[in-house]
Structure 1
Amino acid sequence: MIDRRTAQQCGKADYGWLQARYTFSFGHYFDPELLGYASLRVLNQEVFAPGGALQPRTYPKVDVLNLILQGAAEYRDSEGRYVQAQAGEAILLATQPGVSYSEHNLSQEHALTRMQLWLDACPQQENAPVQRLKLADCQRYRLIASPDGSDDSLQLRQQVWIHQVILQPGEDYSLPLNGSRAYLQSIHGSLTATTPSQQQAILSCGDGAFLRDEQRITLTATSPVRALMIDLPV
């Protein structure tokens, strides 16, 4: 099964200093049928105005993955840790109960655009509080995060694999899936996703798709495309 969710169907917010698109229920946007998908709880794309910041807040026990798409960000926690990241980098925060976290756009002149995922963390597992990964913008395929940190990926506290695929028009890439559920997200560009049973979904910039009970997915670019495949066995 493959079921498209367009960018227009997502929740939206405009606070002036922050513009956001929410795939699942978040903040003021609530849909009882969209509280997450398997262990994926949040998938947001947000644009911070110059100098914009999210003030310190606590999280449930989740892994927070931030993909910096444009600009530069700084992350701080109440235990004194901080890290900065530029466009083309990924930051993984292994959040802890009782610890607060803030996020700042480092530029007073340019917007910060980033994609953020929350993934349920296994209660018994502890990883490094902060992990950082540089993503090559010319690399056709990259494993961004995985349960064991394989292939120099970020290590998650959950059985989840997050893949990035970058394709030019006419190129395709086939990915095996580990479990019964997955979520596909077009960061930019258009593509066709095809299952082994020849079901298809056509995604434009910002669109996503739910996958269920598929062992493999093939992505074919119709324009220059950057996409995430979030493999969610649990």
Structure 2
Amino acid sequence: MITPRTAGQCGKADYGWLQARYTFSFGHYFDPELLGYASLRVLNQEVLAPDAAFQPRTYPRVDILNLVLDGEAEYRDSEGNHVQVSAGEALLISTQQGISYSEHNLSKSHSLTRMQLWLDACPERENPLWQKVSLNGQRSQLLASPDGQNGSLMLRQQVWLHHVELEQGESQAFQLHGPRAYLQSIHGTLHAVTPQEEKKALTCGDGAFIRDESQLTLVADTRLRGLLIDLPV
């Protein structure tokens, strides 16, 4: 079953220095029926104004994945660690109790655009505090996984996160690990198709809940960039 969640249904914020779209409850946006999906707690697309910053803050025990779409960001923690991430790169932060984290748009003239995901972290797992990977330009790249398969970022959770780039008319099939997944169009329009030939159309910024499907095929109606988050737990 595929249940779309359009960009227009998502929560929105405009603070001047920050513009954001929230898939699930976040900040001032609250919907008691949308507190997350399986272990996926947060899925935001945010644009930070030039030289803008998120001040240091602590987090629950989550893995935070930042996928930079445009611009360059610097991330710091209260232990003195810092890393810069540019467009075409993704950073995974394994948050720790008592440590605060900040984010800064390094450009004084251009906005920073990125996707941010929070995934609940298993309490018994400990991973490197910071991990970074570059996109490889392939039609489907495993961006994050529980065991770091194929050079992917290593999560503290049973989740497989795929970055998808398709040209118009191309398709990509996926075998899912369990009963739940979430699909997000970053740019472009697509059709998501199940083996039972259920078909749903998504356009730029739309997402979709995937339930009780073992396979899913994405068909690009225009040039497409998106994320498929396989959430069996």
* Structure 2 residue matching 1:13: 3-state secondary structure: strand
Aligned-partner residue type, residue 21 of structure 2: R
Does residue 79 of the first structure (1) align with residue 85 of the second (2)? Answer: no
> Which residue is 1:164 aligned to?
163
Q: For 1:165 and 1:125, locate their aligned partners in 2 and report how far apart those are by CA, in whole Å.
A: 28
Aligned-partner residue type, residue 17 of structure 1: W
Q: For 1:45 and 1:33, locate their aligned partners in 2 and report how far apart those are by CA, in whole Å.
A: 20
> Which residue is 2:128 aligned to?
128
What are the Cα deviations for residues 132-185 of structure 1, in whole angstroms up to 9, with x where unaligned?
Answer: 00003x311100000000000000000000001111111101000001100000
Aligned-partner residue type, residue 122 of structure 1: C
Identity, % of aligned pairs? Answer: 68
What are the Cα deviations for residues 17-43 of structure 1, in whole angstroms up to 9, with x where unaligned?
Answer: 000000000000000000000000000
Q: For 1:196 and 1:25, locate their aligned partners in 2 and report how far apart those are by CA, in whole Å.
A: 32
Q: For 1:212 and 1:167, locate their aligned partners in 2 and report how far apart those are by CA, in whole Å.
A: 23
> Which residue is 1:45 aligned to?
45
> Which residue is 1:66 aligned to?
66
Q: For 2:89 and 2:163, locate their aligned partners in 1 and report how far apart those are by CA, in whole Å.
A: 12
> How does the TM-score come out when normalised to structure 1?
0.99
What are the Cα deviations for residues 89-121 of structure 1, in whole angstroms up to 9, with x where unaligned?
Answer: 000000011100000000000000000000000
Cα deviation for residue 227 of structure 1 reads: 1.0
Does residue 205 of the first structure (1) align with residue 186 of the second (2)? Answer: no
Does residue 229 of the first structure (1) align with residue 228 of the second (2)? Answer: yes
User: Aligned Cα RMSD in Å?
Assistant: 0.5
Aligned-partner residue type, residue 111 of structure 1: S
Structure 1 unaligned spans of 5+: none
Q: For 1:48 and 1:164, locate their aligned partners in 2 and report how far apart those are by CA, in whole Å.
A: 22
**Matched residues, number:** 233
Cα deviation for residue 87 of structure 1 reads: 0.1
Q: For 2:65 and 2:180, locate their aligned partners in 1 and report how far apart those are by CA, in whole Å.
A: 19
What are the Cα deviations for residues 165-206 of structure 1, in whole angstroms up to 9, with x where unaligned?
Answer: 111111101000001100000010000000111111100000
> How does the TM-score come out when normalised to structure 2?
0.99
Does residue 118 of the first structure (1) align with residue 118 of the second (2)? Answer: yes
Aligned-partner residue type, residue 94 of structure 1: S
